[in-house]
């Protein structure tokens, strides 16, 4: 069987949305550096992401919007009306030097993944996961929607039935918009209740194609293990997909600054292991949210390790410690006194408690009763 493939690019190194923006921190470059420092990323498994051309982006995004992104990058300013029409030039979706090239590179990687997976396999594109992007506007830090483009690419290459599993702390409103009512797409989203964009309520069935599980603040590994075993894995198995797209947002871990969940990275990794064990012939893993440079870098490097059968609990080699020691988190209290284990191991201590939240049990039971065939 072909080894998993990692799609990355140097454009992410040093690219920032701005000094005060949550996406000022390095993420994908850290995962590339740390994976290499661990000895897990040989050149034979690394693919430099292509930049998607406008025609490829127009598979879902409007030509007018894509052209506006290119114009705004070239001019580094917005025109009157751009904020209202395209959602660009706001606090959340600012103008920055690579405003077209960076998201187009992430999208190019996800589109390529659809081609690479035509005959089966595993592809990891940690720069992907921009699940809020809309056809004609930026939304929630997302200028393009690479998960949608990845799924359309899979369809273009003959892969029809797709399970999309999203455990980012924020609901995947852009993906939901794209695939609402699609009988060959199962969308499972586990996200923090009440967190922006405040969509994906329990009763929202996405035209019959979605299972939305809003979870309360403080969700622990024990709660997520219950969600995994009682909802995610059995529903994906019941759906019997040709491919799984797993969006592994890292903002649900306890030390992320934008969400309020209490997960360790073990919760994410255990869901990944469970999805792998289902034996679905195609798996695409994407990144997503995550705004603490240490927690996102360690979690996503561990994803790559698990895809390759590595021991993610092993002691960190000196080269890996140097990658992590070089990170900074300006403007956040977590950057002033990071805990020692962020530098010595990828693996967090489990965030478990004595029981499962009654709210989680009730909501899982409600969703588990629905058929997804």
Q: Give me the active site residues, please.
A: 132
Sign of the four-CA dihedral 371, 237, 262, 35 = negative
Which backbone phi and psi does 237 adopt, to 5 degrees? -65, -40
Helix (H, G, I), strand (E, B) or coil at 47: strand
Which backbone phi and psi does 286 adopt, to 5 degrees? -115, 165
Q: Are 259 and 216 in contact (CB under 8 A)?
A: no
Helix (H, G, I), strand (E, B) or coil at 289: coil
User: How far is the first Cα of the chain from the last one, in angstroms, to the nearest whole number?
Assistant: 29
How many whole angstroms separate alpha carbon 13 and alpha carbon 175?
27
Per-residue burial over 115-132, b if 16 or more Cβ lie within 10 Å, else e, is: ebbeeebbbbbbbbbbbb
Q: Which helix (H) or strand (E) holds 174?
A: helix 173-179
Order of strands across the sheet that contains 185-192: 46-48, 5-8, 121-125, 282-286, 243-247, 162-166, 185-192, 210-215
Sign of the four-CA dihedral 231, 232, 235, 237 = negative
Helix (H, G, I), strand (E, B) or coil at 276: helix
CA geometry: angle 154, 159, 115, nearest 5 deg: 40
């Amino acid at each position: 069987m072909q080894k998993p493939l990692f799609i990355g690019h140097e454009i992410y190194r040093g690219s920032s949305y701005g000094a005060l923006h949550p996406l000022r921190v390095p993420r994908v470059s850290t995962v590339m550096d740390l994976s290499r420092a661990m000895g897990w990323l040989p050149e034979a498994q690394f693919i430099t992401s292509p930049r998607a051309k406008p025609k490829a982006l127009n598979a879902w995004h409007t030509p007018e919007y894509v052209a506006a992104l290119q114009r705004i990058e070239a001019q580094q300013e917005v025109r009157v009306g751009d904020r209202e029409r395209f959602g660009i030039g706001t606090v959340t979706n600012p103008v920055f030097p690579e405003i077209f090239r960076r998201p187009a590179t992430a999208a190019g990687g996800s589109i390529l993944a659809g081609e690479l997976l035509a005959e089966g396999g595993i592809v990891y594109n940690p720069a992907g996961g921009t699940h809020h992007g809309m056809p004609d506007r930026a939304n929630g830090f997302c200028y393009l929607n690479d998960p949608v483009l990845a799924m359309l690419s899979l369809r273009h290459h003959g892969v029809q039935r797709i399970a999309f599993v999203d455990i980012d702390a924020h609901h995947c409103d852009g993906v939901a918009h794209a695939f609402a009512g699609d009988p060959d797409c199962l969308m499972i989203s586990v996200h923090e209740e009440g967190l922006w964009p405040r969509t994906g309520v329990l009763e929202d069935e996405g035209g019959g194609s979605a299972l939305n599980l809003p979870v309360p603040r403080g969700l622990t590994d024990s709660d997520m293990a219950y969600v995994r075993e009682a909802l995610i894995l059995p529903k994906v198995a019941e759906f019997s997909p040709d491919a799984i797209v797993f969006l592994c947002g890292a903002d649900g871990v306890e030390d992320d600054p934008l969400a309020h969940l209490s997960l360790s990275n073990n919760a994410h990794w255990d869901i990944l292991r469970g999805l792998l064990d289902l034996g679905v012939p195609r798996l695409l893993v994407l990144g997503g949210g995550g705004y603490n440079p240490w927690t996102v870098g360690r979690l996503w490097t561990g994803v790559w390790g698990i895809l390759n059968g590595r021991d993610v609990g092993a002691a960190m080699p000196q080269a890996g410690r140097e990658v992590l020691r070089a990170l900074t988190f300006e403007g956040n209290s977590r950057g002033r006194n990071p805990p020692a284990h962020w530098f010595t191991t990828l693996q967090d201590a489990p965030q478990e408690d004595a029981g499962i939240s009654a709210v989680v049990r009730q909501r899982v039971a409600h969703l588990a009763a629905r058929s997804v065939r």
